[in-house]
Chain A
């Protein structure tokens, strides 16, 4: 059972991401843990380890870039696949996220299929190590 942490302050987006990832009930189910803010993510991270983290960039207080930065410094999640979700308008946020260590990005709006495939690809890659 792969554990994915989803950090997103919009309730609807969280539900959307959860639906996208929990959709497959077949061979390898994904367990989604939701954090509604950067702070909650910080609280939940020690309860990992998580196999993948998906985070929105534009969140109030601790934003997604800060979270990516923080995670990349952390002991347990240095190598965890990190996917950032950004808005179409901010190219720069997206690039910053990658520069800070995120593995992939998705710009809103995106199809659930895209996120699913991206997460799966990272999970599979991780499992092969």
Chain B
């Protein structure tokens, strides 16, 4: 920060010093009653221009404002609209002083001197005098290609006019430059031409399609004769012509004198003056003649007419117009989200309508109305379903989007681990909802990283085992009914079940006797347990490493499931099954500690009234008896650490929602049951990744957000916390109570 400021101060200092020197020179020439040197004025202008730019970039506001005003003044001076009088010079010198004050303040860390600047600016305006117009227009007397005139800036035009007024001759030098060497060649030409006059402009001519070289028309004002110029500026690709001076008041029919060859630039513009049909010369067949049709003098003077500038072409606004109808439409995903939300709201209304329909049908006196209502409801249901499918289809994107990114990751990680890995992708065209695709890339990357890290063995090991040196990871995707299946398969070392079990037993997740009847998928399922795959070290597992619990959480947030299958020494296959879309699911809305939450019905077995009298405590866990079986309880308000509302007393009726996850059952105690509702689960932001127990959130109407409870996560958390496994459910479905004292 600080050194940049110093640099700025030093650059500004240099510019201001140069400015002061130029002003002194200008002052001298004014005193000697010579005309102001246009180059000096131009240099002064550019110095202030640069100062304005830099001070603006560095936020030195007052310097920037002052420079801006000075620049305007100097620009007008350049264009001949403002005279360089001693009074103006005074102001300019004062400006240099003020610049100095500003720099001094900057160095000292003080604010810029506001008053000096304001006073100076006030003086600026009052000291400027603008000469009245009305001088004869010398340009009209010359046979200039209007095409050339059209591309002169006002400044250049002013320089041209000034030269002509002083009786200086005009010449055009046609040169061809090699683009590769143009800088040097240009400097060369400039230095050779400078002693003989003023170069006004360089006009690129020709079609410009050639990437190798460029043709330039250089307009030169010089008092030398054509012959001298031709001698002095001779060169292989150089052609010099004089611009003829025409006699005034000649008849219109005089044939136009060719000024220089080449085609007139094609310019499309509306006509300037009523008499002229076209402002600029139309192209001719051969392109060698200058122009025909319009009277050169008329055309030229039309161009020069300052009283009547050509009508402005409409500047296109940032607003857009549609050109024709395309086959595809680019849609903002937010608009689709919005539509999806409307559909979700409609679904909620439809559910409510369904309940009302039932009630109406139940009332005998409203029977006919009920039938009608029912019929309409069915129609609504159908159309809504179609609408939903239609919108969801629009949101579908091919998985290939994610897969491409993965290919790069594979290359990077395999280099890191010095393993040769080949990624084989099939089914990249399989389509999935765009939001799902976005959320998939992280879990997929995790899985692949693990596969390379711990799955694929080192080259030596693979060699020993008789495997090809290059490991393979196969990524496959296909659609299966309402779901999309993603498979990540590697030909690596596989997962050692024994080691997994050992770790699981050690962590109390399961007892040894229980493991006897476990299937492989249950055993491998342990790797998805929260906290399972941590710092204990990779060696313990010889399979997957960090992060599989996070992967599973992310997949379940999308409404999917993940399965593992592995064979020691052969490889591992992970299968992710996802709903194709962020489906609308049915959920039970409950109230816990005064807030609404949603519990996906897929996990809910039943709901009943909570009878505190049936609660006992076993090994520090609350349980109740349900139809002869022991049901572990979890008071969700306590579980989530939610404060009980002050008005709570135990006499208010509460409820138990029994959730089932695999073979486990858990009774979740809630305050109220609101009812069943169709919801769309939206993911929570990454910043809430560490929060366990929620599958996402949904809008419960009127912008109120309800968190969606992740029952499987809660069950797992309780399991992981201790010895509760026995209480949460037996492995055998014979209903053993497991309540050993």
Direct A–B contact present (CB less than 8 angstroms): yes
Question: Could you tell me which A residues sit within 8 Å of B by CB distance?
Answer: 10-13, 15-16, 38-39, 42-43, 45-46, 57-58, 61-75, 87-93, 95-96, 98-101, 103-105, 109, 117-118, 120-122, 124-125, 127-129
Contacts of A98 in B (CB 8 A): 312-313, 315
Contacts of A74 in B (CB 8 A): 207-209
Question: Could you tell me which B residues sit within 8 Å of A by CB distance?
Answer: 46, 49-50, 52-54, 56-57, 68, 71-72, 75-76, 79, 150-156, 179, 182-183, 186, 201-204, 207-209, 211, 214, 265-269, 306, 309-310, 312-313, 315-320, 322-323, 326, 330
**B267→A63 contact, CB < 8 A:** no
Write the nearest CB–CB distance from A80 to chain B, whole angstroms.
13
Closest A residue by C-beta to B320? A125
Closest B residue by C-beta to A42? B214
**B156→A63 contact, CB < 8 A:** yes
**B156→A13 contact, CB < 8 A:** no
Write the nearest CB–CB distance from B186 to chain A, whole angstroms.
7
Contacts of A122 in B (CB 8 A): 316
* Given A42-B214, A103-B316, A63-B153 contact (CB < 8 Å): yes
Residue of B72, B204, B209, B211 ringed by the most chain A CB atoms within 10 A: B204
Residue A89 contacts which of B54, B79, B152, B309 (CB distance < 8 angstroms)? B79
Bound-complex Cα distance A25 to B605 (A): 49
Write the nearest CB–CB distance from B16 to chain A, whole angstroms.
15
Contacts of B306 in A (CB 8 A): 92
Bound-complex Cα distance A96 to B56 (A): 28
**B72→A88 contact, CB < 8 A:** yes
**B54→A12 contact, CB < 8 A:** yes
* Given A12-B56, A95-B310, A73-B202 contact (CB < 8 Å): no
Bound-complex Cα distance A90 to B77 (A): 12
Bound-complex Cα distance A92 to B79 (A): 12
**B79→A90 contact, CB < 8 A:** yes
Write the nearest CB–CB distance from A13 to chain B, whole angstroms.
5
Residue A100 contacts which of B50, B151, B330 (CB distance < 8 angstroms)? B151
Closest A residue by C-beta to B156? A63
Residue B315 contacts which of A42, A43, A70, A105 (CB distance < 8 angstroms)? A105
Residue B202 contacts which of A38, A68, A128 (CB distance < 8 angstroms)? A38
Would you list 24 pairs from A and B whose C-beta atoms are within 8 A, ordered by A residue?
Answer: A11-B53, A16-B53, A38-B202, A39-B183, A42-B214, A62-B201, A62-B202, A63-B151, A63-B153, A64-B153, A65-B150, A65-B151, A66-B151, A73-B266, A75-B207, A87-B71, A88-B72, A100-B151, A101-B267, A103-B316, A104-B315, A125-B320, A128-B320, A128-B330
**A73→B265 contact, CB < 8 A:** yes
Write the nearest CB–CB distance from A49 to chain B, whole angstroms.
13
**B203→A66 contact, CB < 8 A:** yes
Residue A12 contacts which of B57, B150, B204, B320 (CB distance < 8 angstroms)? B57
Contacts of B151 in A (CB 8 A): 63, 65-66, 68-69, 96, 100
Write the nearest CB–CB distance from A8 to chain B, whole angstroms.
10
Contacts of B53 in A (CB 8 A): 10-13, 15-16
Additional A-B contact list (15), CB under 8 Å, known A39-B186, A93-B153: A12-B50, A42-B208, A42-B214, A62-B202, A63-B153, A65-B153, A72-B266, A73-B266, A75-B208, A87-B75, A120-B318, A121-B316, A122-B316, A127-B330, A128-B322
Residue A99 contacts which of B49, B54, B201, B313 (CB distance < 8 angstroms)? B313
**A58→B155 contact, CB < 8 A:** yes
**B182→A99 contact, CB < 8 A:** no
Q: Lowest 9 CB-CB distances: which A-B pairs, in order? A: A12-B53, A46-B211, A121-B318, A99-B269, A74-B208, A65-B151, A89-B75, A70-B204, A90-B154
Contacts of A16 in B (CB 8 A): 53, 56-57
Write the nearest CB–CB distance from A115 to chain B, whole angstroms.
11
Contacts of A118 in B (CB 8 A): 318
**A101→B56 contact, CB < 8 A:** no
Bound-complex Cα distance A38 to B154 (A): 17
Contacts of B313 in A (CB 8 A): 98-99
* Given A98-B312, A99-B267, A124-B320, A70-B153 contact (CB < 8 Å): no
**B150→A99 contact, CB < 8 A:** yes
Write the nearest CB–CB distance from A93 to chain B, whole angstroms.
5
Write the nearest CB–CB distance from A97 to chain B, whole angstroms.
9
**A128→B326 contact, CB < 8 A:** yes
Closest A residue by C-beta to B310? A99
**B68→A92 contact, CB < 8 A:** no
Contacts of B312 in A (CB 8 A): 95, 98
Bound-complex Cα distance A26 to B117 (A): 40
Residue of B68, B209, B313, B326 ringed by the most chain A CB atoms within 10 A: B313
Bound-complex Cα distance A98 to B315 (A): 8
Contacts of A87 in B (CB 8 A): 71-72, 75
Closest A residue by C-beta to B77? A89
Closest B residue by C-beta to A120? B318
